Amino acid sequence: MSEQNENIVEDVKTPAAEEATATVAPAPKTTPTEDFDWDAYEKGDNLVEDRTALTQQYDATLNTVKEKEVVDGTVISMNKREVVVNIGFKSDGIIPLNEFRYNPDLKVGDVVEVYIENQEDKKGQLLLSHKQARTSRSWDRVNAALENDETIKGFVKCRTKGGMIVDVFGIEAFLPGSQIDVKPIRDYDVFVGKTMEFKVVKINHEFKNVVVSHKALIEAELEQQKKEIISKLEKGQVLEGTVKNITNYGVFIDLGGVDGLIHITDLSWGRVAHPEEVVQLDQKLNVVIIDFDNEKKRIALGLKQLTPHPWDALDTNLKVGDKVNGKVVVVADYGAFVEVLPGVEGLIHVSEMSWSQHLRSAQDFLKVGDEVEAVILTLDRDERKMSLGIKQLKQDPWENIETKYAVGSKHTARVRNFTNFGVFVEIEEGVDGLIHISDLSWTRKIKHPSEFTQIGANLEVVVLEIDKDNRRLSLGHKQLEENPWDVFETIFTVDSIHEGTIVEVLDKGAVIALPYGVEGFATPKHLVKEDGTQAKLDEKLQFKVIEFNKDAKRIILSHSRIHEDEQKAAAGISTEKKENSPKRAKKVEETISNQSYEKTTLGDIQSLADLKDQLSEAEKTEAHQKAAAAEAKAKRAAKKDKDAEAAAE
């Protein structure tokens, strides 16, 4: 080779090319031209013509290339960073190795496609790009791969939300996580940087999106394996499998190419909140085939069926009435399930949780996780059912109800509920009673119990009656006090006059508040004042008692009767006085005339009792006075008779 040719070769050499000399293919051997005229060349004769001819001869040995087009090239050398590609041009191109990362098997001699970016840069270097070449033809190749169902190679670049990004022919394709393998993938990062085979499953030309699948490559083979495995399955057959996936409703087991499901109810004879309590991922275990479907390729597996049922191992000596300990596993409104042994449960109905007859929820008594002691109420080994009770651990309060809550005994009760006719109270858990609305107060007319007390309040009561068969008590509140109507009978006598306040006006009359919390009633005609006007609400007036009924607790009053009687008296018309209107009533009226209307209290009752005693003493004094007067009169008559006899003698 001449010095000129050597200079040309020197010009195309680069540091990268020099670094790759170890793998460069050996240059072909050349022989000098025999008819070359060295003398003419030395003298310079015909130098221009020879040089032109030589250039033309050299150019004829080179390919004609154009920029911005894709051509094939041959890898002539490569190192850790670059690949040298010969496209038959006067110089070789250098391409970064990372553009071939999708193809880790690249070697010298491979033919690759390259994109000519520039025939010669400022350094005289040919600029090539493998990535650009792949991109230029990528959509044609991708479409062809989808149409022909071809298997292609791709480089997993990175992880993204829901899957992986794969470089396919220079296009970034999406590999969903569900399409990586037939089994769920827990660690996506292990696939990053790997070259894998894929199938194109979807192309969106509008958005230039490509979806690939690695799972599709192995599904066909697995489908055939499934058919072979399922054809050999039998119910009751025990197989070894590996826990493949765990869900809330069960566990998927890999049986060696085909999956089966263990439902959560078939994991254990006991209750299982989540399958992770029983198994772990990748755990190997034996399972039994419960059922399978050839059409749908579904296999139902069981784990608990490999162990005896816990009811079969239940103590044969266990019987109704025995006490057992257990843990609350489920609580519902109607009751709670207690696990006596793993897989052996009993139901405590809410009615068996308390002696109280109030409708309540089981959550008021128990919660999941509570350790309880209970009594066996029923036991059916054939049906594998057991009912339990916890109230039986306490004595029934109605067994000795006559002794503990005897008629006439006083107690403190808690108000539980109201009805229109009374108040339901609870003396203790399981012991309830009713206070009729008529037994709340001696004096107040109560329309609804809520006017007298409130739910949750404590109320003093007296036992009036016991109904042991129906587990009911009749209670009273007003019986704690003496009946004031015995005293009122001596105070509010007919024709006695008292001050009252109109507290309610009705169509048929008005309600009058009298002293000591007593109420009377006056019809409209008895509310007419002396000036002819009608008495109004909250007006204070004098009222005359025209009727008193102790049994009915009724007092009928009249204001107009007072001035009518006065007018009759002024006109000389005699008015008949009742014997039960003595002067003592006026004295009692004087003692209470200054008292305002208020609710009856024990102190009021005591005052009334004192007044009754005073009246009794007054009656006794009056009787003694009458007797003394009669005795004196008799003595005077006897003395007169004696004097008459003495005069006659």
Q: What is the DSSP string of 359-415?
A: ---GGGT--TT-EEEEEEEEEETTTTEEEEESGGGS--TTTTHHHHT-TT-EEEEEE
pLDDT in tens, 458-504: 888 888 888 877 788 888 887 777 777 777 778 888 888 888 999 88
Longest dimension (CA), the chain: 225
Q: How far, in Å, CA of 73 to CA of 91, rounded?
A: 12
| Three-state secondary-structure class, residue 349 | strand
Cβ atoms of 89 and 65 closer than 8 Å: yes
Q: How far, in Å, CA of 542 to CA of 520, rounded?
A: 12
pLDDT for residue 24: 47
Q: What is the pTM of this model?
A: 0.40
> At 589, is the pLDDT very low, low, confident or very high (cuts 50, 70, 90)?
very low
Q: How far, in Å, CA of 304 to CA of 262, rounded?
A: 10
Tokens 């049994």 belong to: 551
Cβ atoms of 157 and 166 closer than 8 Å: yes
pLDDT in tens, 509-541: 899 888 877 888 999 888 888 888 888 888 888
Q: Which CATH class is domain 310-393?
A: mainly beta
Cβ atoms of 585 and 496 closer than 8 Å: yes
- Delimit the domains of the chain by residue range: 149-218, 233-306, 310-393, 401-480, 485-604
**pLDDT > 50? residue 261:** yes
Residues contacting 399, CB < 8 A, separation 6+: none
- CATH 1.10.599.10 assigned to domain 401-480? The reply is no
Q: How far, in Å, CA of 70 to CA of 137, rounded?
A: 9
Q: Which CATH class is domain 233-306?
A: mainly beta
**pLDDT > 70? residue 598:** no
**pLDDT > 60? residue 282:** yes
- CATH 2.40.50.140 assigned to domain 149-218? The reply is yes
Helix, strand, coil share (%) of the chain residues, nearest 5:
30, 35, 35
CB neighbour class for 212 (10 Å; exposed up to 12, middle 13-18, buried from 19):
buried
**Run of H or E residues at 491:** helix 485-491
Q: Is the dihedral of CA 615, 617, 620, 622 positive or negative?
A: negative
Two tokens, residue 428: 């203790």
Sequence length of the chain is: 649
Percent of the chain scoring above 90 in pLDDT:
2
pLDDT for residue 646: 47
Two tokens, residue 435: 């206070």
Q: Do domains 233-306 and 401-480 have the same CATH topology?
A: yes
pLDDT for residue 574: 52
Backbone φ/ψ region at 479: left (φ over 0), alpha (ψ -120 to 50), beta = alpha
pLDDT in tens, 306-357: 888 888 777 778 888 888 888 888 888 888 898 888 888 889 888 888 877 6
CATH architecture, domain defined by 485-604? Beta Barrel (2.40)
Pick from 89-93, 245-249, 472-476, 554-558: least confident: 89-93
Pick from 249-253, 372-376, 377-381, 635-639: least confident: 635-639
